[in-house]
Amino acid sequence: MRTVTWDYTHQQVKMIDQRLLPGEFREVSFTRYEQVADAIQTMVVRGAPAIGASAAFGMALAAQTSSASDIQEMRADLAAAGEVLRAARPTAVNLAWAVERMLEAAGDPGIDDVRSLQAGMLDLAQRIADEDVEINKRMATHGANMMQENEVVIHHCNTGALATVDWGTALGVIRMAHEQGKHPHVLVDETRPRLQGARLTAWELEQYGVSYEIITDNAAGYFLSSGKVDRVLVGADRAAANGDVANKIGTYMLALAAKDNQVPFFAVVPTSTVDLKIPEGKQIPIEERNQDEVLNIEVKGEQVAPGGAAARNPAFDITPNRLITGIVTENGVVYPPFEMNLHQAVRGSQC
């Protein structure tokens, strides 16, 4: 089942509410693009590719629900919707990428009536979603082909089908290796504070029948130094032109420990997540989320932090390219020098 879909019967956007997993599987529906933006911001849907597809469907929804009577008014409505959707989460470049792609198509001078524009927006959103699935499978094949049998892999956050439209990025590589009969075993970082690893990645691995164990984030260094890990696989919410990667908070520390112990560290990144407009990672905006995500953690029904505590809650950190062994894209595995080779991989998608 796809993470985000268009309901053609009711003209709505449907999503799996990932906040409820693994305890409850529930789909929710949205009839206005503002609701889609809120779902992105509140993490009903998360993961850069899934956010991009959700934004595309949000733009399609804006077109379907617009009261515009002429094409210029419709384009103005879509531009306004794009601003709302783009602001939902600043770090994931797929969001802005999808909005820009939708707006570019909406500006086609060959479209001269409202109904044609509405139909075109929906067709493109569906195409973006379908492309994501195909791209994920290509990345998974490239990544799985470099893996050996019985590898032990550390995985951070959630990068599976739930983080994309379907299949997954880094977790998609593991899933493909499993289907190839390579029997990977996954050490699943909890991924604090929202525990996407313990909640979502573990749940997905159960569905696939992949062997796994959950570890605390701060146990990863121990396993890397013990010689019991063959590879680290992570996703990314944005990659800079030089190969620096913005990913879920904790990725940088994981990369440092992997480098110190000579364990290969790979980011699995569709080329739509590569932002060639940003030369290096320090220029990527980092979202800081509400401190309640840190302070409201409970153990056995008791709040961990003192009542008057304050917290900082950056959602992402930057892993510099010097710590990255390779970047797996749909066009193959990219190795240093990233400044040149990553550009070539992106251009391969644009040909």
235 CB burial (10 A radius; 0-12, 13-18, 19+): buried
Catalytic residue among 77, 132, 166, 237: 237
Whether 38 is catalytic is: no
State how far the alpha carbon of 135 is from the alpha carbons of 1, 164, 252, 266, in Å: 17, 10, 26, 17
**Cβ contacts of residue 187 below 8 Å, gap of 6+?**
152, 153, 154, 155, 212, 213, 215, 220, 223, 229
322 CB burial (10 A radius; 0-12, 13-18, 19+): exposed
**Residue 58 to residue 191: CA distance in whole angstroms:** 28
Torsion of CA 331, 336, 338, 343, to 10 degrees: -40
**Residue 4 to residue 20: CA distance in whole angstroms:** 15
Phi, psi values for residue 311, rounded to 5°:
-145, 160
Q: Report the candidate in 18, 2, 9 with the shortest Cα–Cα distance to residue 129.
A: 2
């770090």: which residue's tokens?
91
**Residue 201 to residue 159: CA distance in whole angstroms:** 7
Q: Is the peptide bond before 336 cis (omega within 30 degrees of 0)?
A: no
**Residue 351 to residue 319: CA distance in whole angstroms:** 29
108 CB burial (10 A radius; 0-12, 13-18, 19+): exposed
Coil, strand or helix at 154: strand
> What order of strands is seen across the sheet that includes strand 231-234?
211-215, 185-189, 152-155, 231-234, 265-268, 326-329, 332-334
Catalytic residues: 237
